[in-house]
């Protein structure tokens, strides 16, 4: 099985060089494809890893700037948040990106943006390499969740 580029872009929020790598993988199933995609993400050159991470929207990004799936995952449809929370998220995103050199990516998994802000705060002092690995694994966790949702819609 080979996944269509459109599907891969939906699963991974873009990351063109990563999508190019995954599009040529031959897998027995979506689970196998995502397993191979995780190995690819963890072993590809760092500039491509950062491109993949930075393809994801910031937590709390302007609602009009995120994909439909990110919109729902970040809870914009159920909890618009407050100006104070938005200011906190903007400051945390800036601090995180300055500290690590890439965008904060986390598998939201139903948590509110306020809860994710708390998680982001705990990740500030972590080792950059360990944090990058965690973020890349979360990219795959997000993709697995999205693949399940897409399969349920069919």
Q: pLDDT for 37-90, tens place per residue?
A: 999 999 999 999 999 999 998 888 777 776 777 767 776 666 767 789 889 999
pLDDT (0 to 100) of residue 39: 98
SS (H, E, C) 33-90: HHHHHHHHHHHCCHHHHHHHHHHCCCCCCCHHHCCHHHHHHCCCCCCCCCHHHHHHHH
For residue 65, the model assigns a pLDDT of 77
Domain ranges of the chain: 5-153
Is residue 119 within 8 A of residue 96, CB to CB? The reply is no
CATH fold of the domain at 5-153: UraD-like (1.10.3330)
Q: What is the pLDDT of residues 4-43, one digit of tens each?
A: 889 999 999 889 999 999 999 999 999 999 999 999 999 9
Q: Please tell me the predicted confidence (pLDDT) of residue 3.
A: 77
Cα 57 from chain centre: 8
3-state helix, strand, coil in the chain (%, to 5): 65, 0, 35
What pLDDT does residue 76 have?
Answer: 62
78-89: burial string, b at 16+ Cβ within 10 Å, e else: eeebeeebeebb
Average pLDDT over the chain, rounded to an integer: 90
The 10s digit of each residue's pLDDT in 99-148 is 999 999 999 878 888 899 999 999 999 999 999 999 999 999 999 999 99
Half-sphere CA count of 5, side-chain side, radius 13 A: 7
């Amino acid at each position: 099985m080979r996944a269509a580029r459109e599907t891969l872009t939906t699963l991974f929020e873009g990351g063109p060089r990563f999508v190019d790598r995954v599009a040529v993988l031959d897998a027995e199933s979506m689970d196998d494809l995502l397993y191979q995609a995780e190995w690819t993400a963890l072993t590809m050159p760092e500039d491509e890893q950062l491109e993949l991470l930075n393809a994801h929207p910031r937590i709390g990004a302007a609602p009009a700037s995120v994909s439909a799936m990110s919109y729902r995952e970040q809870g914009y449809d159920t909890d618009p948040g407050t100006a104070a929370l938005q200011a906190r998220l903007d400051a945390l995103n800036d601090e995180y990106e300055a500290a690590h050199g890439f965008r904060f990516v986390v598998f939201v998994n139903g948590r509110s943006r306020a809860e994710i802000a708390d998680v982001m705060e705990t990740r500030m002092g972590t080792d950059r390499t360990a944090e990058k690995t965690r973020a890349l694994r979360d990219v795959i966790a997000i993709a697995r969740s999205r693949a399940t949702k897409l399969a349920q819609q069919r």
